[in-house]
Structure 1
Amino acid sequence: MVLLPNLLGACLAIVATTTAAPAGTCAAPKPPPDSDTPTPGHEMTGIPMPDDFHRFQRIYQKKIRASLPSGNCTKKTIGKRRSWDELDDATRIDYLRAVNCLAAKPALTDKSLAPGAVNRLDDFTYIHINQTNIIHGSGYLLPWHRMFLWQFEEAMRNECGYKGHIPYWDNARFSEDPTSSAVWSGSETGFGSNGVDLHLEPKTLVFPGLTKPFKLPMPGGTGGGCVPDGPFKNLTLSLGPVVKTFVDKNNTYGYESNPRCLARNFDPASSKGVLTWANATTIVSSHSIGQVRGTIEGLWHKNSHTYIGGEGADPFSTTNDPAFYLLHAQIDRLWAIWQGQDLENRQYTIDGNRTFLGIPLTDAPDVPVSLATLDDVMDMGLGYKPKAKEGMPMITGNFCFIYE
């Protein structure tokens, strides 16, 4: 994570029932095929999507569908990634079950690389730690994380029997009251709430692995302790944290075993007036890849992670918080909508250096700091090393998905 200075009709309510509507009411209309209307049975909460953002989203969806079939990706097989707040409870519960399933499976990462890695979730955390100074503040942020999301989705589906696809945290919809999103519910259908309030003070953390110092200001927040509820209240983390007030020379990248709870530290100021529909629209209406990446990275990415706080705010081991994948699916969604305005000219565009802010790395001096290219190889862990351009399409190669 990079932190830079900074219907309408006779009835308005959706009837939450699968049976006939009582006399005098109107049943929820069935969405037409390929509609992005929320699934009947869910009440729309939060701030409604404005017309301007909706227009960009509809153009993206129309152009993706018009491009089908594309190889094995067809209108029948395309995966639909939806907002967590629009999923039915059964899908939510199955997703959360699959995450905990991965947490119960042994790690595949070589112990000589990450002695503390215990489970499959740690495999993803290890490679994210290992690549952080290359995949943030660089040209690889967007393609690397798109590939990373796909890998995690595949693991849940192939190893743990999950039937759905990765959802996204629709944070613009809840920017002014984030905890009203179902993501942060402490019930069996959410990711759990804020951590116990430890009344922490703001602090400044230090990035390891860079030849120039980079300091990361962290707000005090409103929590800081263990998440007390939800399906991850008993989750044991093993790797990290990495960014601290000093560089830990004995365990610089947090690869050693460090058993602890999942902690969060919500920072409302990072969301209110920041993770808004207006700023989301600025991203999807950008005129160049440089503009879209810069705004995503310096504003949306930064503040999404900072809002969650705790494990989720550590740029290296942020994957320890399972909400990471919903956070990055939202970022990927914004990029996808931008790409979808002009697939021919935007699908394969890249901007940025090969290292964090173009700073040389102490642990990887052979990585050039020059501009990233489409043919650069990205390390995705466990021996998988695709080119950057392989992480850019949505309906070719490994990918077959659309955001709804």
Structure 2
Amino acid sequence: MRGFILAIAVSLMAQVSLSAPYGGNSSGIPKPSEFKKLERQYQANIRASLGLHGCTKKTIRIRKSWDDLDIATRTDYVRAVKCLASKPAIVDKSLAPGAVNRLDDFVYIHDNQTNRIHISGPFLPWHRIYVWQMEEALRNECGYKGTIPYWDQARFSQDPLKSKVFDNSSFGGNGEYLPNDHGPYDILIPGLAINFTTTYPAGTGGGCVKDGPFANFQVSLGPTVQRAGDKFGFQSNPRCLKRNFNFEASTESLTWDNAIKILEEPDIASFYWSLENLWHVKSHQFLGKDGLDLFTSPNDPIFYLLHSQIDRLWAIWQGQDLEERTFAITGNRTFFGIPLDTAPNVPPSNATIEDVMDLGYGFRPKVKEGMPMTSGGRCYMYE
């Protein structure tokens, strides 16, 4: 009954408050007091921990909601993303023959590790380092001065297109509606020792993005379907960026109520599964098409804002008790613990913080190196 009442409340709030002021410059469903309390505790604990390992109050970077950035910063972020898309790929072409540009380099790194970094213990720390690597590339290679913002879905859960993420100056909107190609889709996950099929839900588009700076944006790697001789989509496959918005994923799941539920989980296992089922998968389902492909979802530039938000939720949960939660881990070493087809007889085993991850180009940090926000070469927090 409580959940039903909260759901009604969220719906009513959405109808009356989408145009209400938020954070001084933005709009959205107001942030509940329960979330604010958790956020304040996280921020206070992070600030109290600064001054160690080279991360100080002067050097820490602040990641903000895309909807709270001024238009100049949003414009510069888009410029920097397109700048990376204009630079040649550096990945070994024997590994990813289809990689064209620096964005494809990042797609390849994710694609190549997918069955080890999803539904597994390394999921959160691997993606934390990965998003940081993209932030560093935007800054060091394309002159961007800011951080990777986050897509604050809960503020616009009942009408996600009200978010500035999807306006014509940012990432654009849905894909063109295709009557016969917008789902649902049954997808066989490659690289596993067993046949594992998942279903991607139907959406409201399916075709090329036609508006905003990424209209008809060209991607090359993927999609990950069973194409002859190209199991993981590493070969060249030039095409437009596609989206297939599934609004139910947002209205039913990406809500403040669920965000609070995730953050109030008492242990890492409960937190991880709530985050995965209520937020991570639903965020990708909302985008659909390129943004939903398990292996090559970084083809959609929104991916990095989506995973900055995932990282933010983890950061706030960790920040309630940094001593106990920073290095908490749960999960297997592979996707659902299923053996890889390259090692079909290896039994499932639990991941540990001493395990080594692969983030490309010989960079192989341990899981524990990807868990703090303010050490290991990183220095950032969320507001």
TM-score (norm 1): 0.87
Structure 1 residue 191 and structure 2 residue 171: aligned?
Answer: yes
Unaligned runs of 5+ in 1: 1-27, 29-36
Distance 2:142 2:290 in 1: 24
Q: 1:370 and 1:195, CA in 2 relative to 1: closer, same or farther beyond 3 A?
A: same
Structure 1 residue 122 and structure 2 residue 104: aligned?
Answer: yes
Residue 331 of structure 1: aligned partner: 310
Q: Write out per-residue CA displacement over residues 331-386 of structure 1, whole angstroms, 9 at most, x where no aligned residue.
A: 00000000000000100111000000000000355976310000100000111110
Return the match for 2:81 from 99, 105, 113: 99
Identical-pair percentage: 58
Q: 1:364 and 1:325, CA in 2 relative to 1: closer, same or farther beyond 3 A?
A: farther
Q: 1:192 and 1:131, CA in 2 relative to 1: closer, same or farther beyond 3 A?
A: same
Q: How does 1:3-402 map to 2 (within 5 A)?
A: 38=23, 40=24, 42-43=25-26, 45-186=27-168, 188=169, 190-199=170-179, 200-242=182-224, 244=225, 247-364=226-343, 369-402=348-381
- Specify the SS of the correspondent of 2:127: helix
Displacement of 1:234 in angstroms is 3.8
CA contact (8 A) 1:125 1:319 kept: yes
- Specify the SS of the correspondent of 1:65: helix
Q: Structure 1 stretch 193-202 or stretch 112-121: which is displaced more?
A: 193-202
Distance 1:349 1:144 in 2: 14
Distance 2:318 2:340 in 1: 31
Q: 1:263 and 1:348, CA in 2 relative to 1: closer, same or farther beyond 3 A?
A: same
CA contact (8 A) 2:332 2:351 kept: yes
Displacement of 1:155 in angstroms is 0.4
Q: Write out per-residue CA displacement over residues 59-112 of structure 1, whole angstroms, 9 at most, x where no aligned residue.
A: 000000111112321111110000000000111011111100100111111000
Distance 1:121 1:130 in 2: 14
CA contact (8 A) 2:151 2:309 kept: yes
CA contact (8 A) 2:208 2:216 kept: no
Q: 1:216 and 1:347, CA in 2 relative to 1: closer, same or farther beyond 3 A?
A: same
CA contact (8 A) 1:355 1:368 kept: no
Distance 2:86 2:326 in 1: 37
Distance 1:232 1:77 in 2: 32
Distance 2:298 2:146 in 1: 20
Corresponding pairs, count: 362
Q: 1:260 and 1:339, CA in 2 relative to 1: closer, same or farther beyond 3 A?
A: same
- Specify the SS of the correspondent of 2:353: coil
CA contact (8 A) 1:270 1:306 kept: yes
Cα-Cα RMSD: 1.6
Distance 1:365 1:296 in 2: 29
CA contact (8 A) 1:210 1:360 kept: yes
CA contact (8 A) 2:339 2:345 kept: no
- Comparing both structures, which one devotes a greater share of its residues to helix? 2
TM-score (norm 2): 0.92
Distance 1:348 1:128 in 2: 23
Q: 1:126 and 1:367, CA in 2 relative to 1: closer, same or farther beyond 3 A?
A: farther
Q: 1:367 and 1:387, CA in 2 relative to 1: closer, same or farther beyond 3 A?
A: farther
Distance 2:354 2:314 in 1: 20
- Specify the SS of the correspondent of 1:271: helix
